[in-house]
Each structure stands twice: as structure tokens, then as C-alpha cells.
A and B are shown apart, each in its own frame.
Chain A
């Protein structure tokens, strides 16, 4: 292989060089900015992990699997996975192979960073280069892979349902330019390489095209303009990349090591949160997942748009989007890059200043303490605020405890102090903390070793936020499953009754309790499943997570969730959350019961 251009330079590379220098400088600037925004201890810890072998291996593997192969997308939809990984991995391979070519054939040019990109323009084949044919083949092969991905991407614009997506994100103006320049890059590369294939070598794709062009063009005059065009679209793409959704490419490579290092969002817009926001590829998978987006409503309030508005610093929209969300967490589960939609929203809420700050110093916990200390029992049952409005749950739970011979105490027979989670979800952390402190005092005074909760909202709060010195925190569904295992309850099995279990957000996605309630139900009747269940269950619409979503706007959400639950025609919808039960109860034609009620009616008299 020999140099075609003596000094190894041609002006057409300039647009690309400009774009590349710009995007690299921008990334360096971005990385420095984000690193500076991290709290000092987080930054230090992050640097340590970057040089720790265990983390290095994990980081490299995660970046490879997520950024190039898009493993998670493959799991969601194969066509979608292929489309993304063909472009990402194919492009990566072309760049890599370009570098290998330079090192193999033109080591003296390795110092020009544009050389691997435009290699075929600068070199001419001679007899000795036939050994390059493998490289040429691979180059053509990966170009074909990318082109197939681009074709799919074009089809997806028109028929997203083929890719398992009912709705996709509406691209912004710059995104559209980025998209079209990205689509143009590879066909132009194919054209450019085809024009030079007879000079600098080619393979199964470029050689026949070269022959074809020669048939009706007869000269090589088109060569230079296509290489120019190729360089220009590359330049455009690189230059606008920081301002488009394609920023997710470099940002995700930053996000993965940061997440592996265990960093968490500590500020609404800076540091880790910023990395997450920039890592959002705007794929729109969260739109279909969002329970609010049913009937085409609230589409612009999904996480993808939150990320976009945060990038634009549009405070009004950030506030609207943050306040409307039910915080069910489903967008986080389906997100390919792991943007934590709920956390991002809560942290936005936490930035607000209030004229009145709640103060609970007037709460005297002494009467509660003496009440829980007076009675005997080792299980402390905290029904919670919501359960006060569903007396059936409290009554059934107590009845089951009696039948199983459990020694229990009631923490809030006549109302108590809120667990603090609703306040926490409103972003008012200090106020929530004050509430937990009051509850911790009461719980510790009880001398019990187990805290039993029937509301997943309280459960998540106690489990994740309270320091209770070894007191076991259990949700009633968990506790019932345990009582059944221990043989303390002998329920009557009625296999003719079909139950479906609705996974409440806080219990399922929140705490990963999927199996225990199902274990209980399998011993009571036939368990059928909803269309979307487990970590993809659909929020009932009653969530306290949303601040601004009004009562009437929630009806469609609830009905959609009910339809999802009723696909297998259950006789009873069973849930394990008082809020879900009340919400479903308003619109459901099928009876909605709490797991405690179903169990209580199946366990006749005291069986222990």
C-alpha cells in the first residue's frame, strides 16, 4: 500500500477535523465540569475506582455491553436491539478497523487522527496489499451492518410498532438535524469508498459499486465531492452532537463508571444528575411504560421530556413534569441507560423554598410510647394512615394474627404519626426526617422485635430510611407467607376461584416483593397473571407520588391498570396496598380485596 497524497493531507478532511476537535474539547470540558460538581468525597471515591482493577473490568464490560451491544434493548425487542447495536457496534468496529489498517499498512501516518477515517482516500493499492483483503472485507461487512441498521431506523420513524414501541419521542430541531446527518454519514461513506475502490481497494460491497459507477460515469471526477460530503456530514454531526440527544453516547460512557462507583444523585442538576440527564438517548421507551400516558395524555411529562427540559433549563416545565409524576418507578425499570426518573423528579421538588416549613415539635409521643409499652406482644402492627380508611384491611390483618396465635400490639389504633414518605416524595426531606424520628421513638419504646405493616408506602419508608437497631420490618404479605410456611395457618384451598395479584409500586419495584404474596395466593386459589406484571406492573393511579395530578385525571390511569389486570378474567383482584385497593374499588367491576381479607376468609377458625 502506498501513499497517494504525498503529505498525507487534503483540505476535505477539515470539516471532520473541526467537528472532532470541537466534540472532544466539549467532552473534556463536560467531564471536568461534572467532576468538579461532585461532592469531594464522591469525587475521590470515583477516582479510586477508576484505577481499581475490579472496577476497571466491570466498567469496560458494562460499557461494551450497554453502549455498543445494547444488551438491554435486545431483551426488550430484538429488532430494536439489532437496530441500535448494528449502528453503535458497527461504527465502533469501522473506527477500530480503520486504526488497525493504519497501524498495519501506514504506521508512519498514525499521527494523523483523521487518517483511519479517510484511509481509503489517501492510499493506493499495489501488488503487496492483497493481504489487506481481509481488512477490506471486514470494513465492507460492518458498513453493511450499519446500513441495515440505518434502514431499520428509517422504518422505525414511520412504523415504530414493529419495534415494540407505540409511541416515540418527538425530536427537537437539532435532534432532527443530528438524525439526518447521522443517517447520511454511512451511505456517503459507501459512495466515497466505492469511488476509490479501484484505486485503494475494496471488497464485496464497494468493488461492484465501483464497477457499476464506472459503467455510466466513466471517470473518477465524483470521487472528491463525495469525500468532501462525507467529511462535511461527519463534521456537522460532531459539531451539533453536544446539543442533541446524541450526547448520550459520550455521557453514558461517563455514567457507567460513576454508577459502578456507587455514586448517587446529590443535587438536582449537577454532578451525577447531570450525567444521567445527558445520558438519556431519547429513545422514548419510557413513554409507553408511563401509566400517565394512557389515552395519549401526559406524553410530554414522561422522563425523556424531563431530561430534555432539564438540559434546556426550562424551570416552568421542569416543575410541571416533576410534580405530575406518580413516581411509580416504571420508567426507571425499562430505561436502557438507567435514568432514575423518580429520583430526578423528587430532587427537583426538593429545590423549592417554602414560606411555611412544617414543624412537628408539638407532637408529644409520650402517650403513644406508654400505650405500646403497656400491652404485651412481640409484633408491633402499624396500620398507617391509608389503612385507617380501609378498615377491612386492619380488621382482617388482626383477625389473621389472632388465628395464627401471634402476640401483637397495635401502634396506631386511634391514628398515629405519618411515616413521612408522602412528605419525602414531595421533596421535603428534613420534614420527613422529623416524622421518622417520632415514629422511631415509639417503635423502640414498644420493645417488639418485629414491625408489621400493611401499607407498602410505610413499609418502604421504614425499610429504607429508619434505623431500628435490628427490629425486623415486614410487610403483611411477607409475614403471612411466613406464617403459612410455618404451618401456623391452614387456609382452605378453593381452586375454582381465580385471583390476580396487583403488584403495588412500592412493594414490587420499590422493595422487590413479588413472590411472597403470590405464594400466599397459590395456597388459596388459582393464581392468574396480569398482562404486565411484576416489575412492569401498572400503577393504580392513586399514588401519593403525584402532587399535581387531579382526581378526575387519574380515572383513565386506573381503568387502564384494571384492564391490564383483568386479561385473564380473574374473579377477584388482590392487592396488598390500601391505596391501590381504594383506588381500584372506585371503578372496578371485579371485586378488589387486600391479601389479608382473602387469607382471613380462607382461614376458618383459629387453626394454630
Chain B
């Protein structure tokens, strides 16, 4: 690597000096209004939580620095097609948000190299060589979809006709997927793949898979009206606004079959379809069905990238593996560390509206925190 490309390394002494200068500038800046230097806030993660928080902080008069490791904003939502409960266009939401944060500093394809704590703030070194000083950091690092291949018995990556919820959304978005047959006769959805499963390392409910499965089942049925669609669930958890309406529509208008039983094994038939085995626990009988496509509802698990950043910022993980909030009722958006805030799925599975609301709340918390410091 060429030496001239390596970022400028600041010693702690330099940083303290710079920090002092910055604070001084801020104090003086109050009078010199036109040239006022806005306070920076670092937002790690450019999914919907990060974007919404950026938007709110901009309007509160800060200078948010949004860092995203991918080459685009929007996180998981960007790869989704339509969102429950109103089948809104996911892309539209992302583009709206993107337009609203045009004024913020946004670094794409950038990761956090290291961060260290200063007396009343943080110094964050980015992988692109930029060094950011801020008194507040917002962690909106999100989640990872459970790697479905880990659930070996379901045959993801082994059988051709087994896909995940994300694969299906990608196909809805116009992506090409040879695994999706042109006219399937039977399609199955397996709920709770990598959720509520100690063996998969995640005993928590992922909250959104039940409603996503029903949404996708309806969409599949819309595309392939001839197909029989089965949902294999352990418990249906339809808690949100209008979710129950979705369930009723799926049953009444689309004739989707709901089978209470967790799929235990998937095998391949001679012609390449898959046969699933489950127990229909309501009738108390084993059930088998041959499907042309099986969709695994991969759950929401902790983002493994969080561990590195969390360690540098001395953040703790909660017993569920996600980042720990200062309090799970009153201060969900605050971490136990001063100046570090949390928003979205980095603290646990959340729906899109919940995440957006939390991001706003985090922005307000940051604002109050910074205001009280001065």
C-alpha cells in the first residue's frame, strides 16, 4: 500500500487540542452566527433508522455524519419490494428519505476503523481516512438476516427449490432467480427459521416474519393464482396495526393454508421438487407435502459487525445478543455509555414504523443531551 494514501494519524494530544479549539470555536460561534460551525453527530449505519435520524438531526440544526458500509443507503428495506400493512413501495420510502438528507455528510462504502473515547466526546476514524470528532454517536447498525444455510435440515443451498424471504423480495423487485419456478403448483413458507430456536443460537422471536410470510404468501398467490400456498408456523404473532386484517385476507381471499407445526425435515424428490415433513399439531398427525418452492422466513439476528464497534465503545450486549439499552422501557434509545445512542434493530427485532419512530426519538434524545452539555 502506498504510504501517502494512509490516513493522517492523530495522537491523543492532537485530538485534545483540536477538541479544545473546536469547543472554543463553538462558544464563540454563538455570536458569529453566519459562520457558525454546526455540531457534528456521527451516525453509524445508513438504514432507515440512520436515515430518519439524520433527517431529524439536520432539522434540529446539527451536522450529521452518516457512515454506511454498503455502497447504497437504505439497509434491508432497500432490498425489499412492498411493505406491510399497506403494501407501500419500499423503494419510494428510501428515495423520499434520501432526498431529505441531501445536506448531510454521507460516507458510503465506509466502515469504522477505530473509535476512542475523549473527555466528553469520541474520536472516530473511518476506513476512508476521515477522522470525525463528535460528542454524540448514534448506533443504527441494524440486524442481519439469519443465514438460512445454518439450518441444515431445511436444505438452503443444498436443494434448488429452497429460497429465503430475502430471495423472494429480490425476485419481486425484478431480480432473476432460477430457483423460482415459472408455474409452481404448491409453495410453502416456513416461519421461524433461525428465530425462537436455541439450536440456531437465537431464542428470540423476530417479530416481523409472521406478517412478512403472510404478505409474501399473498403476493405469491397473486402471481401464481393456481398454486396452493402453505404456511408452517409455530405460533402466529400478528400484533401490529392491521396485521390481523392481513391474516383474514390471506385465509378468506387467498385460501392460504395455515398449518400449525414446525417443519423438521426437507428432502428432494426425483423431479427436483422438495418434500417437507412436519407434524400438524392441531390434528395431531404427521403431515407431508411436495412443494415446488419453499420459502424460509429467515429471522432477525444480531449484526455480527456490531461486536467490533461495541467493544471499542465499551457497549454491552443484552442477554438476547443485541446491544443493550440503558433501560428497556424509558431509555431504549440511550446506551449505558454517555453520548452513545441506539436506534432501530441493533437493539432487537423491529418493524419499519417502529424503527422510524425510534430513530426520531433517538434524534431528540441526542438533541437534549447536547443541549444539556452546554
Contact = CB atoms under 8 A, between A and B. Distances in A.
The answer to whether A and B touch in the complex, with CB atoms under 8 Å apart, is yes
A36 interface: no
Nearest to B274: A391
A395 B152 CA distance: 12
Contacts of A447: none
A324 B208 CA distance: 39
A587 B103 CA distance: 43
Interface string A392-408: 10010000000000000
A551 B198 contact: yes
A388 B153 CA distance: 7
Interface in A578-599: 581-582, 585-587
Nearest to B266: A391
Given A551-B198, A586-B199, A414 B153 contact: no
Given A395-B268, A414-B267, A390 B199 contact: no
B268 A388 contact: no
B159 A391 contact: yes
A389 B158 contact: no
Contacts of B47: none
Given A582-B152, A585-B150, A585-B152, A391 B199 contact: no
A395 B158 contact: yes
A413 B198 CA distance: 28
B265 interface: yes
B155 interface: yes
Nearest to B159: A391
Contact of A388 (B158, B201, B265): B265
Contacts of A585: 150, 152
A537 B204 CA distance: 34
A552 B201 CA distance: 10
Contacts of A389: 152-153, 265
A590 to B, nearest CB: 14
A44 B284 CA distance: 57
Contact of A586 (B158, B201, B268): B201
B203 to A, nearest CB: 11
| Most central of A388, A551, A581 by chain B CB within 10 Å | A388
Contact of B158 (A391, A414, A587): A391
Interface in B156-190: 157-159
B150 to A, nearest CB: 6
B152 A391 contact: yes
Contacts of B157: 392
Contacts, number: 37
| Most central of A391, A413, A585 by chain B CB within 10 Å | A391
Nearest to A582: B152
A414 B267 CA distance: 8
B287 to A, nearest CB: 14
A391 B267 contact: yes
A551 B153 CA distance: 18
A275 B244 CA distance: 70
B199 A551 contact: yes
A581 B150 CA distance: 11
Interface string B188-200: 0000000000111
A586 B158 CA distance: 17
What is the predominant secondary structure among interface residues of chain A facing chain B? Answer: helix
Contacts of A390: 152-153
B329 to A, nearest CB: 28
| Most central of A389, A413, A587 by chain B CB within 10 Å | A389
| Most central of B152, B159, B200, B201 by chain A CB within 10 Å | B152
Interface in B117-165: 150, 152-153, 155, 157-159
Contact of B268 (A391, A551, A581): A391
Interface residues of B, number: 15
Nearest to B155: A391
Interface string A537-559: 00000000000000110000000
A177 B152 CA distance: 56
A388 B158 CA distance: 13
Contacts of A413: 267
Contacts of A552: 198
Nearest to B158: A392
B156 to A, nearest CB: 10
A390 B152 CA distance: 6
Contacts of A395: 158-159, 268
A587 B198 CA distance: 12
Contacts of B159: 391, 395
A338 B368 CA distance: 71
B158 to A, nearest CB: 5
Contacts of B152: 389-392, 581-582, 585
A570 to B, nearest CB: 19
A289 B276 CA distance: 42
A585 B152 CA distance: 9
Interface string B249-281: 000000000000000011110000000000000
Interface string A159-179: 000000000000000000000
Contacts of B265: 388-389
A392 B268 CA distance: 11
A231 to B, nearest CB: 64
Nearest to A395: B158
A397 to B, nearest CB: 12
B289 to A, nearest CB: 14
B243 to A, nearest CB: 32
A395 B199 CA distance: 23
B218 to A, nearest CB: 29
Nearest to A581: B152
Contacts of A581: 152
Contacts of B150: 585-586
Nearest to B304: A589
Contacts of A582: 152
Contacts of B153: 388-391
Nearest to A394: B267
A390 B156 CA distance: 11
A76 B267 CA distance: 48
A558 to B, nearest CB: 12
Interface in A362-421: 388-392, 395, 413-414
A581 B153 CA distance: 12
A388 B152 CA distance: 10
A585 B194 CA distance: 13
Contacts of B198: 551-552
A414 B200 CA distance: 25
A392 B198 CA distance: 22
Interface in B44-102: none
B147 to A, nearest CB: 11
Contacts of B199: 551, 586
Interface in A458-510: none
A391 B200 CA distance: 17
Nearest to A398: B268
Interface in A555-571: none
Contacts of B200: 586
A388 B265 CA distance: 7
Nearest to B201: A586
Nearest to A392: B158
A147 B61 CA distance: 84
A581 B157 CA distance: 16
Contacts of A586: 150, 199-201
Contacts of B201: 586-587
Interface of A: 388-392, 395, 413-414, 551-552, 581-582, 585-587
Given A391-B152, A392-B157, A586-B200, 11 more contacts: A388-B267, A389-B265, A390-B152, A391-B153, A391-B267, A391-B268, A392-B152, A414-B267, A582-B152, A585-B150, A586-B199
Interface of B: 150, 152-153, 155, 157-159, 198-201, 265-268
13 contacts: A388-B153, A389-B265, A391-B158, A391-B267, A391-B268, A392-B152, A392-B158, A395-B158, A395-B159, A551-B198, A551-B199, A581-B152, A587-B201
Q: Which 10 A-B pairs have the closest CB atoms?
A: A389-B153, A392-B158, A391-B155, A390-B152, A391-B158, A395-B158, A388-B265, A582-B152, A391-B267, A585-B150
